[in-house]
Structure 1
Amino acid sequence: MGNAIESLKKYVTNRRAQEYNAFLSQSDHPERLSSDNVITLTLSPTLSSTATSEAKSTTTKAVATSTACSEFYWACRNNQIDKVEKLLPTMTLDEIDKLEPNHSTALHAACYHGHIRIVRMLLEAGADRAIQNKYGCLPFDEALNNNIKELFFRVPNSNRLVGNTGVIEWELIDDDVLDKAAEERDIIKSVYNNAAGNDSMNKMFEKIEKNYINKGLANIHGIEIIKRFFQKATKEQDPQWIIKAYTAETDFYTTLNTEIAGGAGMYQSERRYIIALLSHHPILNNYTFIGSAYRVMRQNHDDLKKYEVGCCLMTKSFLSSSIDRKVAELFVVRQEEEREKGGTKARFKADGKVIKSWVMCIYQIKRKRTALHIENSSQYANEGEILIMPYTVFQVKNISQFKAEFLPDKPLMTQIELEEWNK
């Protein structure tokens, strides 16, 4: 198990490196400049929202000298642990996450310079992991070594890309439920269309925050983190903050999905607003994903037999998956390692078959806005998350078995290939 998990960890830890490592050695990198330098920032080119050509506009702006950066930033950059410990309890999360005049944050600085204790302190304090610096790099991308990058991983027993049952995730469907799926999607589309272009859009954000978040979810684990993200979503009218909330390691995403799947009546409108914003808001158009996404689940052997080639499934909630198969494999390996440490052994039926076994699900996404590639807005960028929308219909195209080389004894593992239903 040790070699398998270390190999997958190394891969997942460095999967973003090819895209972002080149920026780390740039002469004008914020973390390479001394306090005497004047920083000049070139903002990323932006496309006109109405233009159809490739014309771009670039803005250059001179900002204050880096000595204008906060005392807290410099303490994190210079590994002044005592000062960081003194300042942290007095600061708000907005102050901790401040984008400094050199377009970096305290978490970027601590990661870049390899100050592992300070990185750990900032993450435990709730620092936002998804803020980009001037090069579009996240703190994870700036980390000096893999030990720091691994601090950004979820806890080993996280079920983020793992389903322990199909009950909440999907259901086998017949013609009647196909109609129901279409009806639900039409309702969500109507909710968004009725709000677009007037004050109702503002009301959607407000009602989600004031009713569902502040009242309905008041007692869930991590609610203060979630409240902060939704306050920003309402203030800025920006659903990207909802993505940050959804990816945070709190009880928000599990509670939301359980209630969507179960059809809970209370706050149903607010949950539909969340689905509508993530499904249709134009700010998220650039997140559109077409392609293959990977997710694993532990499935009861008898339930697994219900799935046949040609049958259709409907996602009953949001579904987290990964753009990279090896990320899903790592979730399996880490969970198996935790089970082994805890002394939990696989349970077998009288005929010798395992009661629950691992299944690799491959979702082929074909339509725009069915799924969002939320990696760069996620609190856990290393996961390469693809977020699949509720009420999406997939057809099983193939069921096969493969040798799971990443698990001890290399057992056979079921693989289900699903393609988005186009009819």
Structure 2
Amino acid sequence: MPKTATPLNDKRIKALKPKDKRYLVADGGGLALEVMTSGTKIWRYRYSLHGKQQPMVTIGEYPAVTLQDARGRADRYRETVAAGVSPVADAKKDRGAAQALDTVRAFADHWYQSEIAPKSKSYSTVTRRALDKDIYPAIGNKPLVDVNAGDVLAICDKVKGRGASQSALFTRNVLKRMYEYAIARQLAAVNPAQQLVARYIATPQSRTRVLAPDEIGRLMRAVYASNMSRAYKLALHLLVITMVRKSELIEAEWSEFDLDEGIWRIPAARMKKDNEHWVYLSAQAVEMIRELRTLSHSQRFVFPMRRGYEDRPIAKSTLNQAVRAMKADVQHFVIHDFRRTASTHLHEMGLSSDAIEKALAHSIKGIKGVYNRAQYADERRKILQLWATFVDAQINEGNKVVVGRFGVAA
């Protein structure tokens, strides 16, 4: 009995990585996705005619041809084959009718779906807004290769005229990244946004916020005194003491943890640099995760959605909203400041810079960066334990709320 293919979905498609040789992943009904060694993904249709296997028909490149569109074409080709006719002519006609990526709008839509849509919701949303609100009305119908620096400057000046200089700079950067993508695919030769110096549009705002020790204590006491759920309180505490990114924590799965060994293995697919990362858990972190196990209704996710029937993690904005809703006497703070805060204080304590960078999952340049994930393991375990204990001390200073028994001996 032939093996039934598991239908594809966009998440699974985006997770497919190139290999030394190109390979096919079946969707079913003759439709398959071929992953090239370059990383390009091409839809193919496999069929037999008059009892003989025929060469595959090319449908188009993903994501320019979406999963839904590819299935629709495969259904039509299947009907053609059932009538005893080859679908090759239809496939050529379909590809010829596909919109050419020669205008700004056409190419930008392709770039957005391929490169931006898979990123965070907040980033993809503001990028989409820049395209729809400012870029398309000005140059959307203009040939991609005809856009010049003057066009980009006019767009930025219009945005600045609304009193939004930082948005003007962001819009320039959207065009710059889009044209870098076009040049890499030989669809453009010049990057018109690159010719505009960023500082003449607006001064980039750098994030340099570092929480002082007393601010760490005040913030975390406010967290535990708030009305947010216990799981969210523990999530924020874990973000402070594990030094991981928010997305790495909220998408965590139980299978990634070895609590007896005190190791959290985050797979490469969920890491910013596409490399597996090991977090050496402090005693406090282990106890928090054990408590979370008793709170979670999901067999898969540590922080599952609280409503609905789908087994998926909480939204990326959930913890941000929880922080905004509580009353904390800490000004101009965002969750990502936790990582910078930890790095700054640990460096000031005179600890190994390389070990700190490894704990943050940062790349280390040069020969020292070519080690495996266990490099500096003992130092990283020591650092994370020291940091968790330091954070405890700040919370316990004047503590009047119930936090939990997360001490080293807990």
TM-score by length of 1: 0.27
For the pair shown, the structure with the greater C-alpha radius of gyration is 2
- TM (norm. structure 2) is 0.28
* Higher percent of residues as strand: 1
Structure number with the bigger relative contact order (C-alpha 8 A, sep ≥ 6) is: 1
